[in-house]
C-alpha cells in the first residue's frame, strides 16, 4: 500500500467521487470507490490531484498566518525593528501567488 493510499487528499477524493457516482445512480461504482477499490479511476486520480493542490495551498496560508500571528513578528524590541516592518506583506503576496511564505528570488 503506498503512502498516497492514506493521504487526506485521496480520502477526500474517494468521498467526493463516490458521492458523484451515487448521485448519478451508479451506486455500484460509488461503493467501489468508497471502499478504495477505484483509485485508478480517472475521476479519482483527477480529484486527488485537485484535493492535494487545495491542501498544499491551505498549508501555505496557515503557515503565513501563524507567522503573522506570532507576537515576535511584531516585536519592536527586535534588533533592526519588527520583522513586520521588513516584510511589508511579502509573505502574504508569496502565498497568494502559490509560493512558500519565505520565497526569495536570490
pLDDT digits (tens, 9 = 90+) for 15-28: 999 999 999 999 99
Work out whether the CA dihedral 18, 56, 92, 72 comes out positive or negative.
Answer: positive
**43-55: average pLDDT:** 97
Q: CA angle, corner 98, sides to 5 and 88, nearest 5?
A: 140
pLDDT of residue 102: 80
DSSP annotation string for 15-51 = HHHHHHHHHTT-HHHHHHHHTT--TTSHHHHHHHHHH
DSSP 99: S
pLDDT of residue 105: 65
pLDDT digits (tens, 9 = 90+) for 96-106: 998 888 876 65
Inform me whether the pLDDT recorded for 6 exceeds 80.
no
Question: 70 is written with which cell numbers?
Answer: 506570532
Question: If pLDDT is split at 50, 70 and 90, which confidence band does 2 have?
Answer: very low
Amino acid at each position: 500500500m503506498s503512502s498516497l493510499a492514506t493521504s487526506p487528499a485521496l480520502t477526500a477524493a474517494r468521498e467526493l467521487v463516490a458521492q458523484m457516482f451515487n448521485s448519478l445512480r451508479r451506486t455500484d461504482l460509488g461503493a467501489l470507490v468508497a471502499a478504495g477499490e477505484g483509485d485508478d479511476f480517472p475521476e479519482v486520480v483527477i480529484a486527488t490531484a485537485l484535493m492535494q493542490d487545495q491542501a498544499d495551498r491551505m498549508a501555505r496560508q496557515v503557515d503565513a498566518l501563524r507567522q503573522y500571528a506570532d507576537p515576535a513578528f511584531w516585536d519592536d524590541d527586535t534588533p533592526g525593528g519588527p520583522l513586520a516592518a521588513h516584510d511589508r506583506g511579502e509573505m502574504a503576496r508569496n502565498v497568494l501567488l502559490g509560493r512558500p511564505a519565505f520565497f526569495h528570488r536570490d
